[in-house]
Amino acid sequence: MKSKWEAQWESMTVDELFALRELMQDVLSERLKAKKAELERRLQALAQPSNDVGPTKRGSPKSAG
């Protein structure tokens, strides 16, 4: 017994399948562009020096000898 989706796939013409492929390609391309922009934004944020961190505490230097 075929599922609803299998029956729909098999009943589609080549033109319909090609149109669906183009639609999916456009959707995935837009998603990738959005993801890339988000990752680039996050990378920029990581690359900028942070001003909200207080001074680092360092232990007193140990004297030699």
Among 51, 49, 47, which Cα is nearest to 39's? 47
Q: Is residue 8 in some structural domain?
A: yes
Q: Is residue 57 in some structural domain?
A: no
Task: Using alpha carbons, list the distances in angstroms from residue 2 to 5, 8, 10, 60.
Answer: 8, 10, 10, 76
Q: How confident is the model over 31-41, as pLDDT tens digits?
A: 999 999 999 99
**How many structural domains compose the chain?**
1
Q: Is residue 54 in some structural domain?
A: no
Lowest mean pLDDT, pick from 4-8, 17-21, 31-35: 4-8
Q: Is residue 19 in some structural domain?
A: yes
Q: How many residues are recorded in the chain?
A: 65
| Calpha distance 65→49 (Å, rounded) | 38
Q: Which two tokens stand for residue 60?
A: 């007193």
Q: Is residue 29 in some structural domain?
A: yes
Residue-number span of the structural domain to which 14 is assigned = 4-47
Q: Is residue 56 in some structural domain?
A: no
* Mean pLDDT computed over 45-59: 71
Q: How confident is the model over 42-51, as pLDDT tens digits?
A: 999 999 886 6
